[in-house]
């Protein structure tokens, strides 16, 4: 049985798809900024805060990392109104995405803080910097540079996971696809379009964030200049190295 592809009727929905892309990117941008702030603040408490605060942060991280995002979204959208907190669907999506990203960012940033050599902290203290100055100007920039690739990957995961916000009627890209296929009954073509769109968004967003990272953390991001990077990593074959020995 052959299937006849038909994309001819999708042009009239271009505006809806473009709006869905804008909503998806907007949700990702806002939740990235807020989630990043949660990650930095939570990581600093996790490393140097009082015991009770560290316990609360650990409980929050474990709760979010061990529950599905869609459950967290439904809890925010359907659960908070029961407590008298009323927010619309877009605000609920941003809050859920921020809470989700923040939990993962806490662990990522914490590992970055712990990767900063102790000698750098001691050198900064020897120069007369107090605790907050050491953290702000020495520890935090180096920590973020060390874990930037992991943070970038987590942002992309959150963007792709945002597809479920269509379940609470947020007009994102997936919501647009669901609406379109309910009108023209071309489900396969609809999801082919958003699959390609999500793929393009992920590639472009990764490149943009990589470019921003190189600008923000110039000279700080660790890399091995003697190793091939990018596509060369996949395509280049490197045999075993031989180290010359003195005779």
Q: List the alpha helices (DSSP H) in the chain.
A: 14-48, 51-65, 69-74, 89-115, 118-126, 131-134, 140-161, 173-184, 187-216, 231-235
Q: Tell whether 243 is covered by a domain.
A: no
3-state class of 238 per DSSP? Answer: coil
How far is residue 25's CA from residue 21's CA, in Å, rounded to a whole number? Answer: 6
Q: Quote the Cα angle for 16-90-19, to 5°.
A: 15
- Asked if the structure places residue 47 within a domain, the reply is yes
Confidence of residue 229 (pLDDT cuts 50, 70, 90): low
Over residues 183-212, the mean pLDDT reads 94
Q: Which long-range contacts does 141-144 make (Cβ < 8 Å, 24+ apart)?
A: 141/217, 141/220, 142/112, 142/116, 142/220, 143/109, 143/112, 143/113, 143/115, 143/116, 144/109, 144/112, 144/217
Residues 141 and 40 sit within 8 Å (Cβ to Cβ): no
The answer to whether residue 193 is domain-embedded is yes
pLDDT in tens, 55-79: 999 999 999 999 999 999 999 999 9
Q: What is the 3-state secondary structure (H, E, C) of 162-179?
A: HHHHHHHCCCCHHHHHHH
Could you tell me how many residues make up the chain? 247
| Domain encompassing residue 50 | 16-233
CATH code of residue 83: 1.10.3720.10
More confident residue, 199 or 225: 199
Place of tokens 């490197």: 238
Under 8 Å between Cβ of 121 and 58: no
Residue 5 domain flag: no
Exposed/middle/buried for residue 173 (C-beta within 10 Å: 0-12, 13-18, 19+): buried
Nearest alpha carbon to residue 10 among 192, 141, 180: 180
What gap in Å lies between CA 166 and CA 169, rounded to an integer?
A: 5
Report the Cα–Cα distance between both ends of the chain, in Å, rounded.
72
Q: What is the pLDDT of residue 121?
A: 83
Domain contains 139: yes
Number of domains the chain is built from = 1
Q: Tell me if 194 is assigned to some domain.
A: yes
Assigned domain for 132 exists: yes
Residue 11 lies in a domain: no
Query: Is pLDDT above 60 for 239?
Result: no
Which tens digit of pLDDT belongs to each residue from 95-143?
999 999 999 999 999 999 999 988 888 888 888 888 788 888 889 999 9
pLDDT at 246: 54
């Amino acid at each position: 049985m052959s299937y006849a592809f038909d994309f001819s009727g999708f042009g009239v929905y271009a505006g809806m798809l473009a709006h869905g892309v804008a909503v998806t990117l907007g949700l990702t941008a806002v939740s990235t900024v807020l989630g990043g702030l949660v990650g930095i603040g939570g990581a600093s408490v996790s490393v140097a805060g009082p015991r009770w605060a560290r316990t609360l942060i650990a409980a929050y991280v474990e709760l979010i990392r061990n529950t599905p995002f869609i459950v967290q979204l439904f809890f925010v959208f359907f659960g908070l109104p029961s407590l008298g907190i009323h927010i619309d669907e877009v605000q609920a999506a941003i809050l859920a995405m921020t809470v989700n990203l923040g939990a993962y960012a806490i662990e990522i940033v914490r590992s970055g803080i712990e990767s900063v050599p102790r000698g750098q902290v001691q050198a900064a203290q020897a120069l007369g910097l107090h605790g907050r100055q050491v953290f702000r100007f020495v520890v935090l920039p180096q920590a973020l540079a060390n874990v930037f690739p992991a943070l970038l990957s987590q942002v992309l995961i959150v963007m792709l996971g945002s597809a479920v916000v269509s379940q609470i009627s947020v007009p994102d890209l997936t919501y647009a696809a669901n609406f379109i296929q309910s009108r023209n009954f071309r489900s396969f073509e609809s999801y082919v379009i958003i699959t390609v769109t999500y793929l393009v968004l992920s590639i472009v967003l990764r490149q943009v964030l990589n470019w921003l990272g190189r600008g923000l953390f110039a000279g700080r991001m660790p890399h091995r200049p003697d190793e091939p990077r990018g596509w060369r990593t996949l395509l280049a074959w490197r045999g075993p190295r031989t180290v010359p020995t003195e005779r």
